[in-house]
Amino acid sequence: TACAVPKLKLADCQYNLRQMISLAEKAWDQGVEVLLFPELGITGYTCGDLFFQRELQKNAVKALNSLCQWSDGKKMLLVVGLPLAINGSLYNCSALLNDGKILGIVPKTYIPNHQEFYEKRWFASAKSLNQTEIPIGSQAVPIGTDLLFKHVHREEFVVAVEICEDLWVPISPGSFHALAGATVILNPSASNEVVGKSDYRRELIRSQSGRCNAAYLYASAGFGESTSDLVFGGNAMICERGILLKELPKFNLGNELLICDIDVESLNHDRQMQHGFGDSVDLLNNRFYRTITFETSGTNDFDREVNPQPFVPADPNRRSERCEEIFNIQTIGLATRLAHIGNAPMVVGISGGLDSTMALLVCVSVCDRFGIPREKIHAVTMPGFGTTDRTYDNAVALIKGLGASFHEISIVAACTAHFKDIGHPIDLHNVTYENSQARERTQILMDLSNKLGGIVIGTGDLS
């Protein structure tokens, strides 16, 4: 998928068409399957009262037909914006093109008329549209906000469109599209730049992709729009399930293309697992959708960064916050359990490694935060055949330094007798050799816990 932000000239539909074709050719050469252009990209968003000019309206449709002809033989879904006059009203629309055909037209539902926006001066809402088809050239083209575009060969690849302000309302059209089956939501936009707005907009798009369990493509108008009232930075981003995959730097002066792979199979998988999503379908309230099929060729090239550490933030500050959150979750979880069983003694095995150290620190945190003496932590080191001086010394120093009750119980004699009982050579270091030691340590901790009337604090095994 890709978002395109072309430079434009206001009301010069042929110039804008050339920029679109230039970007579309680059996208086609790189195997892009879905290409999104900004809101009203054929004319420009800031044409003002020129939108009422019949000549501009005709030129916009002419450019649309030319772009449609260019797409003939190219199995790529193109989404472009233009004004369309229908029954005496003007609508802010997005047209979806594929392989020489106009598949459908989606009009904007929520028309902003507040603060710096006065779009109702020119455009009517999709709510006032009472037609389901309009003629464009020789085609009868479906029109409405009830359109889903489904890939011929991949049933989980379903595209829907909401336009700019549609996203900013409490329950957006895109939310209903997702409940109806859309896994990829496209938003052609013309969002101006105000100090602080960029961060809010990014979070809005990211959270919408998370709530809808969908991929979300956003492309906003850029260089060439009028600066009489507003400045447009050409923002574009691609999000998936609440994660920002890629974002285009703003304030570019030329044609820009943002390309990123999305995983629609994974989206479909997550929706099946998340029962709350399926339970929300009744919110559609008799909203019926028409489904239009499309086909793409694409490429098998992989264009997406895979984070080898998806749960470890790269930013040091966020990483510290994440670690503190993990620690606090464990602390409160253990404290809650102890409160239920009368603050019983805690028994924890200490090897000198990372996992048991973490478990001991959580125990200490519980004691300190809830006024429990640290002596109620019974920390046990259980040296075995492979215990080194370094890990042993670390374990002893840690236990004594934190003020926990210290226990040392060797497992060597017990495991030697066990190997003799089962006829296992003591010098054969296989899975039996390793697991026997682990089970002996578990038995010691369990039995000591029973003796003390306590609870065993389990540790991880990642280190």
Helices (H), 303-430: 316-340, 354-370, 389-402, 412-422
Please count the other Cβ atoms lying within 10 Å of the Cβ belonging to residue 320.
11
Task: Confirm whether 164 is a catalytic residue.
Answer: yes
Question: How far is the CA of 326 from the CAs of 127, 335, 363, in angstroms?
Answer: 47, 14, 14
Report helix, strand or coil for 268: helix
The tokens describing 64, both together, are: 């649309």
The set of long-range contacts for 395-401, using a CB threshold of 8 Å and a minimum separation of 24, is 395/350, 395/351, 395/352, 395/356, 398/350, 398/352, 398/357, 398/360, 399/350, 399/360
Strand pairing class (158-161; 147-151): antiparallel
Task: Output the CA torsion sign for 135, 139, 142, 148.
Answer: negative
Q: How far apart are CA 10 and CA 403, in angstroms?
A: 74
| Active-site position among 13, 164, 239, 415 | 164
Helices (H), 81-187: 173-179
- Name the nearest CA neighbour of 131 among 89, 172, 96, 171: 89
Report helix, strand or coil for 97: strand
Phi, psi of 123 (to 5 degrees): -115, 145
Please count the other Cβ atoms lying within 10 Å of the Cβ belonging to residue 222.
27
150, 292 in Cβ contact below 8 A?
A: yes
The set of long-range contacts for 114-117, using a CB threshold of 8 Å and a minimum separation of 24, is 116/192, 116/229, 116/230, 117/165
Task: Output the CA torsion sign for 14, 15, 16, 18.
Answer: positive
- Name the nearest CA neighbour of 94 among 164, 180, 47, 150: 164
How far does the chain reach from its first CA to its final CA, in angstroms? 40
| Active-site position among 3, 13, 39, 260 | 39
Task: Confirm whether 162 is a catalytic residue.
Answer: no
**Which residues participate in catalysis according to the annotation?**
39, 108, 164
